[in-house]
Structure 1
Amino acid sequence: MLIFVIVLLVIWAILAVLGFAIKGLIWLAIIGLILFVATAIIGFIRRAARRK
């Protein structure tokens, strides 16, 4: 599961960089950043819950 979360984080980061690099795709950067943060939070919560 941890590998899956890391792969998603990498994909979202790439989408965000592409969105900022190409002016017409700024919406892609915003979506990429939102998904990056959401995936990181979900991964952190699941990892913390697994330790308990």
Structure 2
Amino acid sequence: LDFWATWCKPCVYMMSRLQVLYDAYAKKGLMVMGVSIDDGKDRVKNI
């Protein structure tokens, strides 16, 4: 479970790292859920 926001540069960087981790371990059951604390879904669409 990852809480993040578009204004948090380290958070946005970690999104790509979590994708790599997910790609490597999804078949073994790893699930990743990201929760944005931004206001409005339009900000999140481009990430």
Bucket of the pairwise TM-score, normalised by the shorter protein:
0.3 to 0.5
- Greater Cα radius of gyration, structure 1 or 2: 1
Pick the structure with more helix per residue: 1
Pick the structure with more strand per residue: 2
TM-score by length of 2: 0.41
Relative contact order (C-alpha < 8 Å, sep 6+): which is higher?
A: 2
